[in-house]
Each structure stands twice: as C-alpha cells, then as structure tokens.
Homo-oligomer: A and B are copies of this chain.
C-alpha cells in the first residue's frame, strides 16, 4: 500500500532532490508538462538580463567578439554534446528542430544519391514527417516509406524518434542504428523526447537532432541542436548553406565554400537572446548525474502507473525500461479530463485524438507530486468532474 508518507520518504532519500530549488515552479501546481516546456531555471533570468543589458546594451555590435555570440552555435554545442554521447566539435546549435530535420535528411540524401527511398515514422511527431514531405515534394522522385514496413535495403535514410511523443515508447538506438546501417542507409535520430530524460548515446548514428526546451529547460522556442557524425564532416552538405556555415564568413566571398567540421551546418545569425537561456540551462546540466536522472525517471513513471491502476488505459509500455519519462493514458474524453485536471492544479497535456500525457522531469518532480497527481486524476474520473461543460471548449494550443 503506497501512501503519501511513503512518497515523502522517497523524496527525502532522492539524490536529485536539491535540484528542484533551482527551478521556478508555481505554488499549488504539479507541473507534468516538462516534456513539452521545461521549467525556468532560477538563474536564467539573470543570464538573459546580462545578454540584453550588459552584452547588447553595453557592447553593441562588439558583442559578436567580446561576448562570444559569433561562436555560440559551436561553443554551446560542445556544452550540450555530453548529454547525447557526442564529443566536442560534433554538435551545432541554432534554428528549430524542423530546420535541423531538413538539414539532416537532405544531407543524407546527398550522401546516398543512388537511393530514392526515405523511411519515416508516420507515428512520429508531425513536424518530422511534414519536413520530409516538403523535401521529397521539392525534389520529386522519392518514395516516403513508413518505418513500420521495416525495409531499409533500398533506403537512403531512416528518420526516427528515440522516444515517441505520443506513447512515450522508447526505441532501442543501438540495434536500430546497426540494422539501418547494415542495410546501407543512414540513420537520423530525433532526440526531442529523450535528451535530458535519460542517458542518450548517438555516437554510432549518422545524424541526430532535437530541441532544448523540453527536459533541457532552455525556454520557449529555445534553439535546436544538430549532431553530425565526424565520419561525414568532410563530405556531408548543408543544403541550407547560409553565411555562418561558410569557411570564411567575413571574407564575403561570392561563392559558398563550406567550413571544415560541424560549423558548415550553421546557417544564419544565431538568436542570441534565446541562446542565453540555453546557456543557463546547461549550467544546471553540467552538475547532473544522468544515471540518477534515468533511475528516478523510471521510478516516477512506475509509481504513477501503479497509482493510476486500471482507472485509464495505459498507452505507454508497461516496462519502464521501454518508455521515456512520460506516461500516456487513453480516454475518448481525454480533452475535458485534462482540462478538469489542470483546473485542479495537475498540469499534463492532451494529444489528439485521445491521449493524456504526463511528463515527469526528474530534476524538479517529486514522488509526492506523483502521488497528488494520481489521486487528483482518480477523483476527476470517479466523480466525473470532467463532464462540466466549461472543459469542452478547445484552446488554440492543446
């Protein structure tokens, strides 16, 4: 029998418990949407203030040199690299996940010009599949094949998410990477729903990418990252060949000449203010033992699954090792149920058509929070509180 005192005891023994104080979390809210937008690291406000007032205000255009803005896509990439099992000079930061997908898939197609199949997961987060459709539509002559077909021997590239955004199911990176590469295709991993929630290792992948605003806590619309395996650095092409990827951007040469190494995947001028918050987020991550994050993540999701019991259908895998740091539940009236929960201070989100998602960010979610969330969910269901008319109306962003 699990009660709240048991959960409080688990919190007292949690080796990560001190990290919660480094985040701003509203009173009276259990925030289980860190898989969508991570919480604000307390010191990020000061870091962004410094970027605005001291750097932009004080150094003006000199900030490109003095404050290191020009180098940020690579210096921040180097700081992020350990979180995905990459080394220095292998990650570039900037743009959005959508843009990084386009760069990676297009580069892969150029590296496999004789192949005309792109394997993509129709269950993947939509933008992944949409970007592939846009690229294939522009090029013509490409087949987009669903990952579920399981055939890679004529594929140029396979694009897949390590953790599924809707179900939380986790793919096995090493075995799929090996299978894809043995078939002669290139492997692109989307890490949006795994980075910061578990130990990630893409060192065998050809490309990898992801956002930084979910478990990494870098703020709304924070810059994305792109990893390119060093074995492709000399040959991979960035079709979005902007001046920041040029060998000598300030030589103002008429023709594009790619930089050596990962810099060739930089595109335009980096969004400096958004980078500042990402830097603050990485200040925290540099002190976090990722094995403890994964252990706590599995414990939190397992506790939630156990406490919810059979009140709702479990969409996520029952085995914690087979899922990310989220639990997805199914109900035909998932939308009003989630609205009723939020009204009672338990914040999850809803993914059409019928999935309730609960994300457990191990740096700031406590076992007692899990307990409170599960109890509230059972109450909303048992007392049918979600049938109130006010919960039916859809918001722009769900």
A residues contacting B by CB (< 8 A) are 24, 26, 31, 33, 36-37, 39-40, 44-45, 48-49, 52-53, 55-58, 60-65, 69-71, 95-99, 102, 106, 110, 122, 125-127, 129-131, 133-135, 137-139, 166, 211, 213, 219-224, 237-244, 246, 249-256, 267-277, 347, 349, 351-352, 395-398
Contacts and interface: CB of A to CB of B under 8 A. Distances in A.
B60 A53 contact: no
A326 to B, nearest CB: 14
Contacts of A65: 395-397
Contact of A221 (B213, B270, B349): B270
Identify which of A53, A129, A272 gathers the most chain B CB atoms within 10 Å of its CB.
A272
* A-B residue pairs, 6 tightest by C-beta: A96-B268, A134-B241, A98-B242, A98-B268, A220-B272, A127-B243
15 contacts: A24-B58, A33-B60, A40-B57, A45-B49, A48-B48, A65-B395, A69-B220, A70-B397, A98-B243, A110-B138, A131-B240, A134-B241, A252-B351, A273-B274, A274-B274
A49 to B, nearest CB: 7
A239 B243 CA distance: 20
B137 A237 contact: yes
A116 to B, nearest CB: 14
Contact of A349 (B61, B137, B246): B61
A60 B45 contact: no
Identify which of A60, A122, A134 gathers the most chain B CB atoms within 10 Å of its CB.
A60
B126 A272 contact: no
A61 B45 contact: no
Nearest to A275: B221
Contacts of A125: 243
A224 B40 CA distance: 26
B69 A269 contact: no
Contacts of A129: 254-256
A220 B268 contact: no
A97 B268 CA distance: 7
B273 A99 contact: no
Contacts of A395: 65
Contact of A240 (B58, B99, B274, B277): B99
A269 B213 contact: yes
Nearest to A243: B127
A154 to B, nearest CB: 21
Given A95-B96, A139-B138, A252 B61 contact: no
Contacts of A71: 396
Contact of A242 (B37, B57, B96, B349): B96
A369 to B, nearest CB: 14
A199 to B, nearest CB: 25
Contacts of A276: 273
Contacts of A237: 134, 137
Contact of A133 (B241, B347, B396, B397): B241
Contact of A57 (B45, B249, B254): B45
B240 A102 contact: yes
A64 B396 CA distance: 8
A347 B60 contact: yes
Given A49-B49, A240-B102, A395-B65, A272 B36 contact: no
Contact of A256 (B96, B130, B251): B130
A255 B130 CA distance: 6
